[in-house]
Amino acid sequence: MLFVLAFLNVPTARAQVRPVYDMGAIGLGQQLKRLQTTASAMHTGAHPDDEDSNLIAFLARGENARTVYLALNRGEGGQNVIGPELFEPLGVIRTEELLQARRLDGGQQMFTNVMDYGFSKTRAEATRIWGEQPTLGEMVRAIRTFRPLIIISRFSGTPADGHGQHQLAGYLTPLAYKAAADPNQFPEQIKEGLLPWQAKKLYMGQGFTAPAGEKVSVTVDTGHFDPLIGRSYAEIASEGRSQHKTQEMGTIERRGDQFSGEKLLDSKVKTSTPENDIFEGIDTSITGIAKIADDNEPGLAEKLAALQATAKKALDEYNAYSPEKIVPVLAAGVTQARAAKDATQNPYAKALIAEKEQEFAHALQLAAGVVVDALSDTDTIVAGDSTGVSVKIFGKAAAVKNVTLNTPSGWKVEAASEPKPAGNSFFFRPEKADAASYFKMTAASNATPTQPYWLEKPRHNFTFDWSAADAVKNAPFQHKLVTASVTMTIGGVDITAVQPVEYRFADDIRGELRRDLNVVPLVTVAPDTSLLIVPASAKEQKQHIVVSVTNQAPRDTKGTVSLVLPAGWTATPASADFDLATKNQKTAVAFDVTVPAGAKVGKYDVTVNAKVGSQTFDQSMQEIAYPHIQTHRRYTTATVVTEVLDLKVAPVRVGYIMGSGDAVPAAIKRLGVPVTMLEEKDLATGDLSRFDTIVVGIRASQVRPDFVANNGRLLDFVKKGGTLIVQYQQNQIIQNNMLPFAAKMEGVVNGKQRISNVRVVDETAPVKMLRPNDPIFSYPNKIVQSDWDNWVQERNLYTLTQLGPEWVTLTETADEGEDPVTGGLIYAKLGKGTYVYNAFSFFRQLPVGTPGAYRMLANMLSLPKAPAK
């Protein structure tokens, strides 16, 4: 009987964080401690970064429990301080950032299928957008899949949680705890093969801040120093938390006592008050499997007791300098686990023993010093193409019996000879494996491009379509495209290790990097813009679209590219040929698109098509790549959305100070206004008088020290007659005294809750224009109420409060039941010019083509040319 090793959290070296606490003597020591227990825990929250990282590290590394963090969403509605990705691409990055954190703290990661829609103030809003029952069902699915003994909610389900999505996560966790055990709840999951699962205890964490005087049932010291690891769990957790780079969460790794308190909400076992241990009352020993599974089958107890004794012996006899000495003990453990698994028909007991068998087999491989590596000759492959794959085994303790590649349906695998070493570098050192197999692998002719599974189908509002996800539901990403299975004998026992097939290469600066193998289209196409803004006109108009065509195959690819246009529109040229000889070679084709005279105001689609033989390709490929994450690709139809708008803009010269990253400069260019990006030397010594208007990007006061340092020059620019438009900033603009007149960001919500980010999160909240004849609302475009329609995610954020008398307020808006917010769009006269603070979320509206945002942006840019009143 064979056993398959499939450890999600034991990756090889990659572009990301190395799992240093699961490697070498530390890794084996951790695994041997894990053999002693069946403890498992699920921690629930709403977003990436909600988790109590210290608690996860304590449970996974200290208690050696199988531990998972279940986040309702992937943080798509947040902001990105390291790049331009928002919405779904940001969710991909944040999923990876969670995985980097889990590689360090030892936990695993799961999700439901809802998408973060942005900040929410109430549970009712989250329920309305996501639906209580569908979201609850996905939480139940995660519980039935993972089968935790305890569940710990980060949140209480009350307004004390703050964010409405936090409140819903806290509210649903107790319901999911109960529903997961009821076969009549979500019976479709039972039909899919999942079983009801009753966790033994339910806790609620202290949240981000513990209410004064609140009593907890158990307190754990997450600052405890682990001598095996050489660090405290809190230190490890902080290291993991610093992986949330899109949220700028780098933090100090503090030593000493750190505590997490948990309040017991429900228990199916007897406990004391207060508890001495978070698993108190639960028999987490191997022999306790029979009790947990309610399994009294004859002979099982004896087999479990023998397995428990073997686990203890392996730990007792472990010598970090001679780990191979416990190989016979661990091999015996594998055999005993298999015997115990065969001795029961109880599905719960079988699953728990199978986990233990997996752990023994993994420990056996670690103790024997056996490493399996599977490498592809490329990181991308086109449907119908072939690549070489090598599978190497390092470690003389393993007798290899069989090596196979596990591929998608329709792929072909053939044995191949060992390739000749590449290169003649003096520093080249060939790898000397103890065993190796080589293959030629050919992708199926109908292989589809690889992208995150939840993005394969269009989402429904803020819920992803998982209907094709099959077994990967709730997982961070789908299973690896291709894996290698190596069956080998260690210590007289056969085990099978499974290793993902990866592409390995060397970066001159960063060293060895690895990429997952992905299927890509033969050809990808990308217009230079995804959005055009066309002013309505009685005359025909020319628009310029440049299309890049990229060859993704390692061979010559020829074809034609053209645009699919709305009726009555024309393009010159009608089509263009391309001939791309090598992989990643690209060419650009410029099309002049004629918009007919009198085109009606509205939205039109222009789609790019590339034809190669009988095949048509219309997908753009977005590569999502940062040094701290694995590279992923997202595919969308290559479409240029063309908005014909009733819009005018004055001839102005614009400079732009980029902040943390946004697409506003591109939006300004769409208006036909040239824009100059301003760097440090421009702000320090450049001639700012050459601009009529300067726009400051979001959060520039946080990420651009040169903006802070040269704020005085910008205020002088305004005094001399310029217009400065400052998009939303965080509190640094207040702390650094950068505003020309008195203002703050803090406020009080409905007379009780003091907050530092006064905002209106309902994108449909009515907006009252307090000065409808002000130039910002009247020149050159008359802003009307419909310009506030079709906004996305929110109205505004980080608005200004407690304004000095110099400020002019232009809008009033509010979330339902809350006090009006008037600091979202304000300006003040300073000398001869105008200082504008705009907290309305143009950075989200402009990339998606919200018409009113473009009309208001045109008016703000045009302020220097507005008629004097």
- Sequence ranges of the domains in the chain: 39-284, 297-362, 369-518, 523-645, 654-865
Cβ of 162: how many Cβ atoms within 10 Å? Answer: 18
**How many C-beta atoms lie closer than 10 Å to residue 865's C-beta?**
16
| SS3 label, residue 66 | strand
39-284 matches 654-865 in fold = yes
Q: Which amino acid is at 724?
A: L
- Span 29-58, average pLDDT: 97
% of the chain beyond a pLDDT of 70 = 96
> Where do we find the tokens 């970064």?
49
Q: What is the CATH number of domain 39-284?
A: 3.40.50.10320
Return all residues near 694 (Cβ < 8 A) that are at least 6 apart.
Answer: 654, 655, 656, 657, 678, 688, 714, 717, 722, 723, 724, 725
- For residues 405-434, average pLDDT: 83
The pTM of this model reads 0.90
CA 104 – CA 85 distance, rounded (Å) = 25
**CA separation for the pair 192, 138 (Å, rounded):** 13
Architecture of the CATH domain 654-865: 3-Layer(aba) Sandwich (3.40)
Provide the pLDDT for residue 79: 87
Residue 424 pLDDT class (50, 70, 90 cuts): low
User: Could you tell me the fold of the domain covering 523-645?
Assistant: Immunoglobulin-like (2.60.40)
Identify the pLDDT of residue 7. 34
Beta bridge pairs of residue 616? 611
pLDDT reported for residue 749 = 59
How far apart, in whole angstroms, are the C-alpha atoms of residue 79 and residue 86? 7
List, for residues 87-107, the tens digit of each pLDDT value.
Answer: 999 999 999 999 999 999 999
**Backbone torsions φ then ψ of 612, nearest 5 degrees:** -125, 105
Architecture per CATH, domain 297-362, reads as Up-down Bundle (1.20)
> Region 356-378: what's the mean pLDDT?
97
Q: Is the pLDDT of residue 718 over 80?
A: yes
pLDDT at 43: 98
CA separation for the pair 271, 347 (Å, rounded): 27
- For CA atoms 703, 709, 710, 716, give the dihedral sign: positive
Q: How far is CA 14 from CA 365, 382, 400, 420, 868, in A?
A: 21, 23, 26, 25, 61
pLDDT for position 246 = 92
What does the pLDDT look like over 388-400, one tens digit per residue?
999 999 999 999 9
> How confident is residue 2, by pLDDT bands cut at 50, 70 and 90?
very low
What does the CA dihedral 579, 583, 585, 588 come to, rounded to 10 degrees? 70
pLDDT value for 468 = 79
